[in-house]
Structure 1
Amino acid sequence: MSEKVVVIYSGGMDSYTVLNKALKQGHEVYALSFNYGQRHVKELEVAKEVCDDLNVPHKIVDISAINQLLAGSSLTDDIEVPEGHYEEESMKSTIVPNRNMILLSLAVGYAVSLKANKVFYGAHSGDHAIYPDCRPEFVKKMDDVCRIANYDEVEIVCPYLNNSKIDILTDGLKMGLDYSQTWTCYNGREKACGKCGACQERLEAFELNQATDPLSYE
């Protein structure tokens, strides 16, 4: 009998790979996406299309009301998205305060209601420099608390926690995944900008995998 799991699925490259990895491992996957007021809400449209195609149960939950509490991020406020490499100091403006702790808490609650015992999310080593809530020590502490927060133990699973986006793409390409079904750019325009940190990291991953990114860029 397959194991029920919840996958936090943004619609981006990393969570798309995690979603498919969980499916290929034989899990009964329930995808969970969040509208937290991000300017790149286009990623949610992509996520819905993918789940429809894969026949994966999918919920998109609107939690955008929390933005009256979580100010100061260029992803949710009227602040220009910085250009440049992901590890540059300016990219700290893309941090949404406490985002992953909030999303993981909601996903764990959903998992308990489903009687699922794992929540997957796509933190990876490329995030460690900028995002505190993607670092191994954060994941370990969240895993500890989520195992005792309910009568039913829930494990936090990050398959790529110690891998780079390059490694994630390598694994996804080996699985035969179609990355035209993902959205990475922090600007939610018709085409990807190619200049924000998210785009640059994505393009670097394709270049180092000697592969062509199927997305169109401005």
Structure 2
Amino acid sequence: MAKVVVIYSGGMDSFTVLNRALKDGHEVYALSFNYGQRHVKELEVAAEVTQRLNIPHKIVDITAINQLLAGSSLTSDAIAIPEGDYEEESMKSTVVPNRNMILLSLAIGYAVSLEAQAVYYGAHSGDHAIYPDCRPEFVKRMQEVSAIANYEPIAIEVPYLNADKGEILRDGLAMGLDYKQTWTCYNGREKACGKCGACVERLDAFAANQVTDPLEYEATSAS
């Protein structure tokens, strides 16, 4: 049994990665980050899931970094969350500068301190066009750096790197996962908006699998 750290946001992709790591027999340590995201509700969901699964879970407050990382609609109330399908020009506003490199660096350090063998995170092919830190070339370079950055090499595992959200959901459904235990919406309100790019992509994934999304939505047309 390998000891691994899973970067766990509380969203459906990282929820599937978390359960995939458990299903594969690993000893899992979940790690979540509060980086000032509007949808901080995802961290509440993450805490509930890890408590239910009885696995160690840390939520680390790194909101101070927003003094340096400006310009993302995910962390600034002054920038509107884009609606509709994921398209490069509109969704660029949701990029948090260097986010995954920062989170991976912290997770690798945590893995070293735990004497773990790997860090898992949930990048997938649907993110490649918009998010540079989810692309295969970024993952490859980070894997190379992580192998030499410490005395102990840490693997970076990205099980769904070449899968889209529909394929990730399909694997999760095959594992019997309940996606009511996830939060995807970029707006952190009581119900998912059904209109932001994250909601639209999620709903498309459920439609592709001919399954009804168990979350409640503000937009009746999305429910």
> What's the TM-score once normalised by structure 2's chain length?
0.97
Query: Cα distance, 1:161 vs. partner?
Result: 0.1
- Post-superposition Cα deviations, 1:20-79, rounded to whole Å, max 9, x if no partner, equal 000010000000000000000000000000000000100000000000100000000121
CA–CA separation in structure 1 for the residues paired with 2:87 and 2:3: 35
Query: Cα distance, 1:197 vs. partner?
Result: 0.4
- Post-superposition Cα deviations, 1:90-112, rounded to whole Å, max 9, x if no partner, equal 01000000000000000000000
CA–CA separation in structure 2 for the residues paired with 1:47 and 1:33: 8
Alignment map for 1:199-218 (pairs within 5 Å): 199-218=199-218
- Post-superposition Cα deviations, 1:142-182, rounded to whole Å, max 9, x if no partner, equal 00000000000001100000000000000000000000000
Alignment map for 1:174-185 (pairs within 5 Å): 174-185=174-185
Alignment map for 1:188-199 (pairs within 5 Å): 188-199=188-199
Work out whether 1:114 is the aligned partner of 2:114: yes
Work out whether 1:4 is the aligned partner of 2:3: yes
For structure 2, which runs of at least 5 residues remain unmatched after alignment?
219-223
Alignment map for 1:10-159 (pairs within 5 Å): 10-78=9-77, 79-159=79-159
Identity, in percent, stands at 79
CA–CA separation in structure 2 for the residues paired with 1:146 and 1:77: 31
CA–CA separation in structure 2 for the residues paired with 1:165 and 1:153: 30
CA–CA separation in structure 2 for the residues paired with 1:118 and 1:163: 20
Query: Cα distance, 1:87 vs. partner?
Result: 2.6
Query: Cα distance, 1:131 vs. partner?
Result: 0.2
> Aligned with 2:82: secondary structure?
coil
4+ long deviations beyond 6 Å: none
> Aligned with 2:138: secondary structure?
helix
Query: Cα distance, 1:88 vs. partner?
Result: 4.1
CA–CA separation in structure 2 for the residues paired with 1:137 and 1:159: 15
